[in-house]
Amino acid sequence: MRLTARLLALAFLFLPAIPQAAFAADGGEASRQVVASQPPGAAIASAHELATAAGFEVLEQGGNAFDAAVAVSAALSVVEPISSGLGGGGFFLLHDAASGRDVFIDARETAPAAATPDRYRDAEGRLDRERSQNGAWSAAIPGLPAGLVHVAGKYGRLPLSPSLAPAIRLAREGFPVYERLERGYAARRKVMERYPGTRAVFLAGGKPPMQGQLLRQPDLARTLEALAREGFDGFYRGPVAKKLLAGVRAEGGQWTAQELAAYQVHEREPLRFDYRGWEIVTAPPPSSGGVALAQMLQVLAGWNLADLDPAHRAHLTIESMRRAFRDRTFYLGDPGFVHVPVEVLASREYAAGLRATIHPEKATPSDIFSGLPTPLEDEETTHFSIIDAEGNRAAVTQTVNLLFGSGLVPPGTGVLLNNEMDDFALLPGQPNAFGVMGYAANAPEPGKRPLSSMTPTFMVSPDRVAVLGTPGGSRIITMVLLGVLGYADGLDAQAVAALPRYHHQWQPDVVEAETGAFSPEVASRLRAMGHALHLPEGSVSAGASSHFWGNLQTVMWDRRSGQLQGGTDPRNPVGKAEVRLRSGEAVAP
């Protein structure tokens, strides 16, 4: 507890904080009401309506939430290449209703042995961002295909093949290109069109994808068929693996067949803690999200946020973010390679030490001030949430890292490779594409998993169960925080998905906010407290220009009313949250 002691020693520097409230659940008459043992149906929220439909298609065949998770994940890998795919990785947070067990499936990518830090230095010794973000050297060994095989085989009720069938059909027959996909391709076009395999997919008709046109991916359909037929070996060994290796080597990369064949999914114990009557179940390392979420919420548990004015509530929330991201920088990494002091960092005692350093009226300056805004990440990464009629649930966040990952599709595979090497601390103290830094704990080593911000999360109270998560780079963590606070305030699922967002990540020492997140009065009061705000042009006045981020997808089951709800982020017009009752009736989320 040395970290806690150091923080407590700092407390005398600060004035007494805003009065703290008791940390307890409601014990009144309402808590003795009868709660339902099973939901009245199923709810799925995902970033694309075709993926949501794929999940329900598998449920209607007798599958459970875990089969549906495989179907939704694979379908998103087809229809959202901008965000995720078989060439990336992901985290599956699962709850088995029959046993009451929660499990975290780590299908995060791993570093190739050849990807040592010196490979990412330019001639002057600085970080070579071209190599860390584009092409073969930016790609880590994919984990998502192994994750799909593992979830289907161990937790699903159906064979893998029917759960992959909707994705195979979408890849073969095509789907209409949507505005976000067209815009994202335009942003990455110069990189993607370097590679013949990528051109074969996205320039198959001679022109780049355009809204409303069908995008067909026959090579990806064949890769998915091999995975459905042969399981793990269908991707990591055999013809598909040979094509992956050839495509990487043709662009100068140095993956090996042994590295592909040796990839392993890890099952981990989820991180769990309490927040004002809710049990929070969330992602352990190599995600940084769960530890940061535990720190922020347990710091904030010392105040009754509902009783505070908006400026003080935002101030305290920002200060909790600042402290959690500082610890992320120095302490978090792959627990298979470094000691991560999770028990200390996620403890109430440590949170009390952090809380004691917060001045109720003044911002705490970060160690090094920088006025640079946090780089945006709206389109990359995706999340979906599921509750089935038995009460099983899945929170899944998957990614290829940046927009269209590395941009490289090895010819004949249809698989767009990730650029997760940029998530490592390739050079100590050098910020990555999301402006976050790292040191030795997150340095690359052969087989090591890069630190992630993905934060799939469950919330469980005596009367409600919620599943939530989002893309957003380093902003994932703070968006999930605000979503948890929204549910704790009593909001419904759609209101949680629509909440305005703000973010602080220690470095740079700047508060980022969406359009309209702060009123002019709140923005002025935060500045008076010493917070540096980076706000969109006109964002605190009427008629502001648009500036939004994230794509939160959430479902919620109210066990007292028996109601199921779904919430899909209104920032994403192709997302879909749907509830279907046991009778087959679809109801408005």
Contact 274, 293 (CB under 8 A): no
Give strand pairing partners of 386: 44, 394
Write down the pLDDT at residue 329: 79
- Other C-beta atoms within 10 Å of 58: how many? 27
pLDDT band at 580 (very low <50, low <70, confident <90, very high): very high
Q: Nearest Cα to 354, choosing from 409, 405, 271, 298? A: 298
* Distance separating alpha carbons of residues 290 and 287, to the nearest angstrom: 7
What is the band of 20 on the pLDDT scale with cuts at 50, 70, 90? very low
Q: What is the pLDDT of residues 86-117, one digit of tens each?
A: 999 999 999 999 999 999 999 999 999 999 98
The pair of three-digit structure tokens given for residue 120, joined into one six-digit string: 């990412």
Residues assigned a catalytic role: 381
431 touches 425 (CB < 8 A):
no
Q: What's the half-sphere exposure (Cβ side, CA atoms, 13 Å) at 501?
A: 30
Q: Is the pLDDT of residue 30 over 80?
A: no
Q: How many residues does the chain have?
A: 589
Which of the residue ranges 55-59, 277-281, 349-353 would you say has the lowest mean pLDDT? 349-353
Q: What's the pLDDT tens digit per position in 206-246?
A: 899 999 999 999 999 999 999 999 999 999 999 999 999 99
At 239, is the secondary structure helix, strand, or coil? helix
Q: Indicate the helix (H) or strand (E) that contains 313.
A: helix 310-331
- Closest among 228, 225, 236 to 259, alpha carbons compared: 236
At 430 the pLDDT is 61
Residue/partner pairs of 95-100 with CB below 8 Å, 24 or more apart: 95/281, 95/391, 95/392, 95/393, 95/394, 95/458, 96/155, 96/392, 97/38, 97/390, 97/391, 97/392, 97/393, 98/390
Count H helices, E strands: the chain? Answer: 19, 19
Which pLDDT score, from 0 to 100, does residue 479 have? 96
Q: What is the pLDDT of residues 238-275, one digit of tens each?
A: 999 999 999 999 999 999 999 999 999 999 999 999 99
Phi then psi dihedrals of residue 185, to 5 deg: -65, -40
Nearest to 345 by CA among 359, 364, 366, 324: 324
Residue 117 has which token pair? Answer: 């830090």
Q: Compute the distance between CA of residue 291 and CA of residue 105 in angstroms, rounded to an integer.
A: 17
